[in-house]
């Protein structure tokens, strides 16, 4: 199935405002997707400005490259196929200096969700895949059919915060004894059957948390996120900002904790009258509470419902 790479960016106006763009600065879009955020950032840059757009999906890289070229920008730009978890090396190689803004949109792109054969959706039938980078070897199929019972339990509980983890894992282990679980709908129906009737048709789809957990595992989304956030923040010049969009509580909790530690790095016990660790804050949070989508965006883009934007600035 060949569909247009959706580029409806979440919290676009809020991100542009949060980055406080200097036309001569270097800005990095760590998850370029369809290029929605990248293009709007680049439009605000002058001849001395620079945009670095990163994505691990080759389709996204191709699409963003074309869209940036078609935009007839004044600024310089480069599109890099890589994982944003390698942000430190990417900055050393391409940014060099004057990095004044970094944007991380941690959600799955609309294109990836809507392209049925990518295997992200529990609403459509496809082979279990869920790879953001299709050159990688680990897939949802390999996770579901080869991981041990203990490992699957850990993933669903940790990454999905799934209430019925043990029942779902037991069902997976029993099912795959006879034949592998091969498709998204096969897995979704299995998960649904593990929910009691009173919860099965209440609220969001029962397979939502299981699919989230498996997707995070397949793409190693949270493995080194904490280090990546710190590396990105420390790479900023004075006055530079790091803006991060999250889509579930696990990501948002990590971002909130890291931003809090960056703003207040003191490790002294709370009852100490004065700081003796001598760790000085180099950052300030721009927003104490996360920025959420407007009512207008919520009505027009359902994927903005769970989006939260947090921003920190280097002082």
Asked whether residue 9 carries a pLDDT value surpassing 80, the answer given is: yes
**What is the structure's pLDDT at 219?**
94
> CATH no. for residue 148?
1.10.150.170
Mean pLDDT along residues 161-181: 97
Mean pLDDT along residues 278-299: 94
**What is the structure's pLDDT at 1?**
41
Same domain, 212 and 231: no
**What is the structure's pLDDT at 207?**
96
CB 156 within 8 A of CB 162: yes
CB 35 within 8 A of CB 43: no
Bridge partner residues of 314 (DSSP): 283
Mean pLDDT along residues 231-244: 97
* E strand residue ranges, the chain: 26-29, 50-55, 76-81, 99-105, 241-246, 283-285, 308-314
**What is the structure's pLDDT at 95?**
87
**What is the structure's pLDDT at 315?**
94
**What is the structure's pLDDT at 268?**
83
Mean pLDDT along residues 212-224: 93
Same domain, 208 and 236: no
Name residues whose C-beta falls within 8 Å of residue 299's C-beta, 6 or more positions apart in sequence: none
Q: Confidence class of residue 4 from pLDDT cuts 50, 70 and 90?
A: low
Sign of the CA dihedral 39, 43, 45, 50? positive
- The residue out of 166, 200, 219 marking a domain boundary is 219
Same domain, 241 and 156: no
**What is the structure's pLDDT at 192?**
96
Mean pLDDT along residues 275-288: 90
Mean pLDDT along residues 51-66: 95
Query: How many whole angstroms from its chain centre is CA 177?
Result: 34
**Segment (H or E) for 24:** none
Mean pLDDT along residues 188-211: 92
Count other C-beta atoms under 10 Å from residue 281's C-beta.
12
High-pLDDT (> 90) share of the chain, %: 82
- The residue out of 219, 242, 270 marking a domain boundary is 219
> In whole angstroms, what is the distance from residue 119 CA to residue 189 CA?
15
Q: Which of 57-71, 87-101, 182-196, 298-312 has the lowest mean pLDDT?
A: 87-101
Q: What is the pLDDT of residues 98-151, one digit of tens each?
A: 899 999 999 788 788 888 999 999 999 999 999 999 999 999 999 999 999 999
Q: What is the pLDDT of residues 63-92, one digit of tens each?
A: 999 999 999 998 899 999 999 999 999 999
Same domain, 171 and 243: no
- The residue out of 165, 197, 219 marking a domain boundary is 219
What's the whole-number average pLDDT of the chain? Answer: 93
Q: Which structural domain, as residue segments, surrounds residue 235?
A: 12-106+222-314
Q: Is residue 83 part of a domain?
A: yes
């Amino acid at each position: 199935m060949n569909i247009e790479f959706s580029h409806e960016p979440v919290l676009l106006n809020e991100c542009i405002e949060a980055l406080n763009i200097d036309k001569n600065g270097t800005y990095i879009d760590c998850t370029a997707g369809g290029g929605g955020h990248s293009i709007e950032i680049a439009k605000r840059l002058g001849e001395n400005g620079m945009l670095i757009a990163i994505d691990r999906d080759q389709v996204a890289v191709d699409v963003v490259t074309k869209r940036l070229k078609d935009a007839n920008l004044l600024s310089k730009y480069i599109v890099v196929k890589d994982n944003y978890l390698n942000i430190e090396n990417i900055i050393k190689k391409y940014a060099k200096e004057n990095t004044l803004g970094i944007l991380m949109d941690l959600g799955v792109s609309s294109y990836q969700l809507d392209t049925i054969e990518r295997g992200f959706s529990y609403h459509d039938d496809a082979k279990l895949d869920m790879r953001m980078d299709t050159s990688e070897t680990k897939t949802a199929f390999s996770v579901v059919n080869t991981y041990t019972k203990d490992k699957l339990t850990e993933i669903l509980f940790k990454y999905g915060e799934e209430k019925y983890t043990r029942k779902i894992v037991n069902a997976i282990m029993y099912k795959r004894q006879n034949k592998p679980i091969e498709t998204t709908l096969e897995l979704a129906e299995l998960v649904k059957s593990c929910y009691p009737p009173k919860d099965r048709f209440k609220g969001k789809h029962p397979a939502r948390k299981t699919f989230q957990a498996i997707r995070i595992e397949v793409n190693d989304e949270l493995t080194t996120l904490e280090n990546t956030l710190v590396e990105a923040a420390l790479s900023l010049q004075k006055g530079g900002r790091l803006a991060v969009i999250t889509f579930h509580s696990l990501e948002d909790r990590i971002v909130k904790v890291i931003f809090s530690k960056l703003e207040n790095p003191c490790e002294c016990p709370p009852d100490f009258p004065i700081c003796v660790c001598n760790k000085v804050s180099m950052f300030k949070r721009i927003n104490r509470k996360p920025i959420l989508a407007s009512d207008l965006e919520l009505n027009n883009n359902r994927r903005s419902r769970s989006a939260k934007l947090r921003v920190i600035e280097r002082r």
